[in-house]
Amino acid sequence: MITKLLIEQHFHGAYGVDFNKATVNDVLDVAKKIKKDGVGGIFPTLVTDSVENTQKQIKVIKEASKKQKDGAKIFGIHLEGIFLNPEKKGIHNPAHFLEPTIENFKKIADDFIKIVTLAPELCRAYMKNGENLITYLRNKGVKVQAGHCIGGDLTGCDGVTHMFNAMSGINHRTKSTALSALINDKLYTEVIADGYHVNDDALKLLFKSKPADKILLISDSLPCAKTNLSSFVFADEKVYFDGEKATSAQGTLAGSSKILPDIVKTLGKKGLFNPQFIENPYKYHKVDLDGKLEWDEDFNIVSIS
């Protein structure tokens, strides 16, 4: 099988690097390593943090993009945090959450932020002169994704963040985030198909319900991916990695320990992989990359050109 290079639009780090703490050289190092693993484009993702550190890390990642000469192309930043619903906080630290207002976004605003995950139901309360944070971001050309939320009204969103995880699930009596995402053929849908975050039946439901060209495979990978780390601090919390899953002391899944090529292999072995999935980020972000991947019948990458 021959495909385009992979594009990763949601990952917090790998190879021991956390983008919320990374230096410019750290970011460049991750870009080089992940390109060798088959990923040609990345959107480094920032977890909820203080305004000050968020500002700092945006500058770091932006500077890395200007300096890079090789490796996976840094397309922009995915801001997954600050404007989330505490009821679906996941591993995020709610002490850093802000009200989802335009004024608060301007505290960390930068033209290198290309994707923002937020809770749409919280944004509705801050409509001013016919505009709220969702419409403001859309007018700036930023992709808006519903995530860490409970609302069923996804009006104005481009997609949803890690489908089924940290969102209100399917309920036959009420609207929910997951249900709305499933029935809206226009919404792009991220999914962490690592074998732990979403079970196979839920994946089959998603793949049957959504058009194949609206599925976005992501890793949501953590610094422990491609390392032997047994524990580390992420989102202000101690996270434990047993070689398969990364969880908090309370058992909350903190993200994935696999990078995107590993997830493709996982899906392939289950007969759930569709090559269309690799094409979709190109369309979603209106980008292109030179290069191709050759996969063997076991979904191992045998060449990168």
Q: pLDDT digits over 234-293, tens only?
A: 999 999 999 999 999 999 999 999 999 999 999 999 999 999 999 999 999 999 999 999
Q: What is the DSSP letter of 5?
A: P
Question: Are 156 and 142 within 8 A, CB to CB?
Answer: no
CA 268 from chain centre, in angstroms, equals: 21
DSSP lists the bridge partners of residue 190 as 216
Range of the domain at 144: 2-304
Structure tokens, 123: 């944004």
Q: What are phi and psi of 135, to 5 degrees?
A: -65, -35
Structure tokens, 21: 């703490």
**Which regions of the chain are under pLDDT 50?**
none
Question: Are 263 and 254 within 8 A, CB to CB?
Answer: no
Measure the CA–CA gap between 107 and 182, rounded to whole angstroms: 33
Structure tokens, 101: 């207002």
Measure the CA–CA gap between 140 and 109, rounded to whole angstroms: 11
Residue with tokens 């709305």: 180
User: How many C-beta atoms surround the C-beta of residue 304 within 10 A?
Assistant: 15
Number of domains in the chain: 1
Measure the CA–CA gap between 245 and 258, rounded to whole angstroms: 9
Which H or E run includes 56? helix 51-67
Measure the CA–CA gap between 163 and 148, rounded to whole angstroms: 10
Name the CA radius of gyration of the chain, rounded.
18
Tell me the CATH number at 223: 3.20.20.140
Q: What's the pLDDT at 16?
A: 98
Measure the CA–CA gap between 92 and 220, rounded to whole angstroms: 13
How many Cα atoms are found within 13 Å in the side-chain-facing hemisphere of 172? 0
Q: What's the pLDDT at 195?
A: 95
Closest by alpha carbon to 33, among 210, 227, 204, 211?
227
